[in-house]
Amino acid sequence: MAFSNIFATVSASSVSEKVFGISPDIFVSSFVTISITILGFVITYFMTRKSMKDEILKFKQTSQVNLIQTLPFELCDLMYKMKDRGTDRKLQDKYAEIMNKVVAYGSKNAVKIAAWGQQVNCKLQREGTARDFRPLVALGLLISQLKYDFSAEEISAESWFILRFNDYPADESQKAIKALIDKTISVLDLNPNFSCKRTKTEEPTI
């Protein structure tokens, strides 16, 4: 039995020396080293691939935030201009530019509000209606929705009217705007905390 084991070892040694021209110890050592190197290369490849995917995703998310983080301010500015100038050509182009960003990067509810606002605008253009608060209400709700999407803060849509229109608390259209805001929230199934019930219009003590 011992003789057969010795014979097998000698035979293996002879084969390795004849085939590879190296001793068995060197052959085994080289094989292990090469195997570890290949395994390390494979692991490094997959880790690098995952890391690159994570970096690309992070870049896309950062780019998306950079594109839409100014939208609330742009919408506030658009509200102010639309109140006095209606919807002239420049405002229409600006409105379309902002809506494109909302549709491309906004949340489901943001897109829902934008779509409703666009339907209202198209209907008003067909009918030639001069005075209608629904486009402004759509912008106010959209600002609240985007603000909520970015920071999870729930702010009444009416707050943006108070912020941008100095005469809003005394404006005769205030009741109509409040009613439209609350009705639209109900119809579109939006966050109820965007309603006018959360708005406080009392003047602070100075």
Domain ranges in the chain are 2-65, 69-198
Chain mean pLDDT for the chain: 76
Give the rounded percent of residues in the chain with a pLDDT score beyond 70: 67
pLDDT for 58:
63
**What are the φ/ψ torsions at residue 171 (nearest 5 degrees)?**
-70, 140
pLDDT for 112:
94
pLDDT digits (tens, 9 = 90+) for 31-55: 777 878 888 777 887 777 777 666 6
pLDDT digits (tens, 9 = 90+) for 105-133: 888 999 999 999 888 888 887 876 657 88
Quick one: average pLDDT of 72-82?
A: 83
Contact assessment for residue 133 and residue 174, using Cβ atoms and an 8 Å cutoff: no
Residue 70 CA neighbour count, 13 Å, CB half: 8
What one-character-per-residue DSSP string does 36-101 give? HHHHHHHHHHHHHHHHHHHHHHHHHHHHHHHHHTTHHHHHHHHHHHHHHH-S-HHHHHHHHHHHHH
Q: Comparing 14-28, 66-80, 165-179, 189-203, which segment has the lowest mean pLDDT? A: 14-28
- Whether 2 shows a pLDDT value over 60: the answer reads no
pLDDT for 130:
59
Contact assessment for residue 169 and residue 158, using Cβ atoms and an 8 Å cutoff: no
pLDDT digits (tens, 9 = 90+) for 140-178: 999 999 989 888 899 999 999 888 887 776 667 888 889
Q: Pick 86 or 88 by higher pLDDT.
A: 88
Give the rounded percent of residues in the chain with a pLDDT score beyond 90: 20
Listed in sequence order, the residues at least 6 apart from 177 whose beta carbon sits closer than 8 Å to its beta carbon are 133, 136, 137, 158, 161
Nearest to 135 by CA among 93, 177, 193: 177
Handedness of CA 65, 67, 71, 74 (dihedral sign): positive
Q: What predicted TM-score, i.e. pTM, was given to this entire model?
A: 0.64
Q: Pick 26 or 160 by higher pLDDT.
A: 160
- Whether 15 shows a pLDDT value over 80: the answer reads no
pLDDT for 33:
79
Q: Pick 11 or 125 by higher pLDDT.
A: 125
